[in-house]
């Protein structure tokens, strides 16, 4: 028997570190690491020890002969990765072995290296991987700062509620919230409550892990109409983000939704819109979103992809899951002969091959959606204009070569975008802070990690290697003696932050929020019920219900 890695793989390589036979690839030392959609176990090398399954932070690894319904295909997916690779054969027909790389010691510091005081701005995966690296490999004291009164970043507010295993990575990060060398300041906005200069004056180094809070624009007429919403706002809405109002999304009277884009976020959005609300009731989806979906008339979601199925930007695991939604038909609009030709010509390992089980149909957009729930891929199509109750797209039939698709809601899922960080340089073209190995240009002692560093690409695990590079640069600067010496102290920063920010939440307050949400969930028969407003979060952090004295 062998183990297999499945859909929720986060690519953070924890499983690789514990494998005694080097059967999980690509490893961080290999060129493909970070470029593949997931990690893979070689069934010819696996010795069935189960160490990887125990270590996996997102519960993505299972015995191949005990895969859950809908996951059975991953035994073949793992094996297929090794078809064109040639590990060394063992004698007597035993397991095959992959060559071990040379040992590497990434953190080698002088014996007299003193503890640093480092501020990490942002508590999502990028920031927490950076904090983890510093805490595990140095004697650094870490100050965790977030503008929201709760930690987690995109783990809390970006992962779809029907992916609870992926959210478990948050438990890995949470163990550092109460680390003896960590101080936590949630609800503190750098650039408003405290300036970058003030933060730098109290720390040896500052690491910004602020992500990409904006969204890319389509640049077409009608984009700002009512009924045209960014997918980032929609995701935040169903995840109870306190800066998105419960009534920000209106699904009443909407039978068809058009989603512009075909990446993982677009697929998440489509899946949530047509999923059975009662299955979502067992998740931590926002109460207001669950109520809206229960009352929703949405029966059809159209995914507009500018290119063909051979160039799908989503990952194969997410596409595979989309075709296994109970009670939901997956349809490919047969409006362009190139589409099905590409599906039929796809190699077994190509993503387009996963669409062969979809229904092939020339969709008549003049007809309203039927009673069935379905997701329709429309390839070689791009939006030209958002109209009142419709969207005009390219690539369809008619004299203008386009089509008009009636839709009560248009969601723009064409990517996140970084926003300028106060007092730091910013590249408007890439939406990132210019840097060298994570070191911010022209700002000694200032660093970036995650999407604000490299752009909005890569999943959770990609942030581990990104953080390793940034922390390595920071430590090299410290060893070289080029970090500015802070004039302030940790106690001085504590007085400054608490004097400036109205409601500072520390680790004890965060734990109180966690208890409150889980208690609410227990009452409702759910894992947790999220607190969806800033006052509710602050009140819970102080150990009282909203409205108490």
Is 545 a residue whose pLDDT tops 60?
no
Q: What are phi and psi of 390, to 5 degrees?
A: -165, 170
Q: What are phi and psi of 138, to 5 degrees?
A: -140, 175
Angle in degrees, CA 367, 301, 395, rounded to 5 = 70
CA distance 55 to 463: 18
CA distances from 126 to 200, 237, 461 (A): 20, 22, 9
Task: Write the burial class of residue 396 (CB in 10 Å: 0-12 exposed, 13-18 middle, 19+ buried).
Answer: buried
Is 91 a residue whose pLDDT tops 60?
no
Q: What is the mean pLDDT of residues 215-227?
A: 92
Is 236 a residue whose pLDDT tops 60?
yes
Instruction: Assess whether the previous peptide bond of 26 is cis (omega < 30° from 0).
Output: yes
Q: What is the pTM of this model?
A: 0.92
Q: Write the Ramachandran bin of 269: left for phi over 0, alpha for psi from -120 to 50, otherwise beta.
A: alpha
* Consecutive H or E run containing 391: strand 390-394
Confidence of residue 97 (pLDDT cuts 50, 70, 90): confident
pLDDT value of position 401: 58
pLDDT value of position 400: 47
Is 358 a residue whose pLDDT tops 50?
yes
pLDDT value of position 33: 87
Q: Between residues 431 and 395, which one has the greater pLDDT?
A: 431
Q: What is the mean pLDDT of residues 493-509?
A: 96
Confidence of residue 89 (pLDDT cuts 50, 70, 90): low
Is 68 a residue whose pLDDT tops 70?
yes
What pLDDT, in 10s, does the model give residues 135-192?
A: 999 999 999 999 999 999 999 999 999 999 999 999 999 999 999 999 999 999 999 9
Is 101 a residue whose pLDDT tops 90?
no
Is 496 a residue whose pLDDT tops 90?
yes
CA distance 537 to 549: 15
pLDDT value of position 84: 77
Q: What is the mean pLDDT of residues 290-302?
A: 96
374: three-class secondary structure by DSSP: strand
What pLDDT, in 10s, does the model give residues 364-391?
A: 999 999 889 999 999 999 999 999 999 9
Considering the chain, what is the average pLDDT of its residues?
A: 92
Confidence of residue 88 (pLDDT cuts 50, 70, 90): low
- Taking domain 117-213+418-505, whether its CATH number is 3.40.50.300 is answered by no
What pLDDT, in 10s, does the model give residues 411-439?
A: 999 999 999 999 999 999 999 999 999 99
CA 527 to chain CA centroid, Å, is 20
pLDDT value of position 458: 86
Tell whether the torsion through CA atoms of 496, 498, 500 and 506 is positive or negative.
Answer: positive
Fold of 3-93: Alpha-Beta Plaits (3.30.70)
Domain ranges of the chain: 3-93, 117-213+418-505, 217-408
Percent of the residues in the chain that have a pLDDT greater than 90, as a whole number: 85
CA distance 221 to 200: 44
β-bridge pairing 3-5 and 61-63:
antiparallel
Percent of the residues in the chain that have a pLDDT greater than 70, as a whole number: 96
Q: What is the mean pLDDT of residues 218-243?
A: 95
Q: Between residues 546 and 544, which one has the greater pLDDT?
A: 544
CA distance 478 to 311: 44
- Give the total residue count for the chain: 549
Fold of 217-408: FAD/NAD(P)-binding domain (3.50.50)
CA 114 to chain CA centroid, Å, is 35
DSSP state, residue 234:
H
Is 213 a residue whose pLDDT tops 60?
yes
Q: What is the mean pLDDT of residues 195-207?
A: 97
pLDDT value of position 548: 44
What pLDDT, in 10s, does the model give residues 248-288?
A: 999 988 999 999 999 999 999 999 999 999 999 999 999 99
Structure tokens at 362: 């020339």
What pLDDT, in 10s, does the model give residues 435-453?
A: 999 999 899 999 999 999 9
Residues 6+ apart with CB under 8 A from 316: 37, 77, 351, 354
pLDDT value of position 425: 96
Q: Beta partners for 95? A: none
Confidence of residue 544 (pLDDT cuts 50, 70, 90): low
pLDDT value of position 537: 97
pLDDT value of position 538: 97
Q: Look up tokens 């599906």; give the residue.
A: 343
Q: What is the mean pLDDT of residues 235-255?
A: 95
């Amino acid at each position: 028997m062998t183990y297999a890695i499945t859909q929720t793989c986060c690519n953070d390589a924890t499983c690789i570190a514990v494998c005694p036979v080097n059967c999980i690839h690509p490893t961080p030392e290999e060129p493909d690491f970070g470029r593949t959609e997931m990690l893979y176990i070689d069934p010819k090398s696996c010795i069935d020890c189960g160490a990887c399954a125990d270590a996996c932070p997102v519960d993505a690894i299972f015995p191949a002969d005990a895969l859950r319904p809908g996951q059975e295909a991953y035994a073949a997916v793992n094996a297929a990765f090794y078809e064109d690779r040639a590990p060394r054969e063992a004698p007597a027909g035993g397991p095959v072995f992959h060559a071990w790389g040379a040992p590497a010691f990434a953190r080698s510091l002088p014996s007299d290296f003193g503890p640093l005081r480092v501020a990490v701005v942002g508590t999502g995966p990028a920031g927490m991987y950076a904090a983890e690296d510093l805490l595990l490999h140095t004697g650094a004291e870490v100050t965790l700062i977030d503008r929201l009164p709760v930690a987690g970043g995109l783990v809390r507010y970006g992962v779809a509620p029907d992916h609870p295993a992926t959210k478990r990575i948050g438990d890995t990060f949470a163990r550092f919230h109460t680390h003896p060398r960590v101080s936590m300041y949630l609800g503190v906005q750098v650039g408003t409550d405290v300036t970058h200069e003030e933060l730098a004056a109290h720390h040896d180094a500052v690491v910004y892990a602020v992500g990409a809070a904006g969204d890319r624009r389509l640049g077409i007429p009608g984009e700002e109409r009512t009924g045209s919403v960014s997918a980032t706002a929609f995701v935040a809405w169903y995840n109870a983000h306190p800066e998105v109002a419960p009534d920000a999304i209106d699904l009443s009277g909407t039978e068809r939704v058009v989603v512009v884009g075909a990446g993982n976020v677009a697929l998440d959005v489509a899946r949530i819109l047509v999923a059975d609300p009662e299955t979502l009731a067992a998740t931590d989806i926002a109460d207001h979103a669950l109520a809206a979906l229960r009352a929703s008339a949405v029966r059809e979601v159209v995914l507009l992809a500018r290119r063909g199925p051979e160039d799908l930007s989503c990952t194969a695991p997410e596409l595979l899951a989309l075709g296994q939604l109970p009670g939901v038909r997956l349809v490919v609009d047969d409006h362009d002969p190139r589409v099905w030709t590409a599906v039929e010509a796809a190699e077994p390992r190509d993503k387009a091959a996963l669409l062969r089980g979809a229904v092939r149909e020339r969709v008549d957009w003049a007809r309203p959606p039927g009673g069935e729930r379905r997701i329709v891929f429309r390839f070689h199509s791009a939006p030209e204009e958002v109209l009142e109750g419709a969207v005009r797209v390219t690539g369809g039939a008619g004299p203008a070569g386009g089509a008009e698709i009636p839709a009560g809601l248009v969601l723009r899922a064409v990517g996140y975008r970084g926003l300028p960080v106060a007092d730091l340089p910013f590249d408007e073209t890439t939406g990132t802070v210019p840097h060298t190995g994570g070191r911010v240009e022209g700002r000694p002692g200032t660093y970036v990690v995650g999407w604000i560093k490299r752009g909005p690409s890569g999943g959770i695990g990609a942030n581990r290697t990104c953080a390793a590079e940034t922390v390595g640069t920071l430590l090299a600067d410290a060893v070289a003696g080029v970090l500015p010496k802070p004039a302030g102290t940790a106690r001085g920063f504590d007085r400054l932050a608490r004097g400036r920010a109205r409601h500072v939440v520390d680790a004890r307050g965060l734990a109180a929020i966690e208890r409150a949400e889980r208690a609410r969930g227990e009452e409702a028969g759910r894992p947790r019920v999220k607190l969806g407003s800033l006052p509710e979060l602050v009140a819970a952090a102080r150990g009282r219900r909203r409205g108490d004295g």
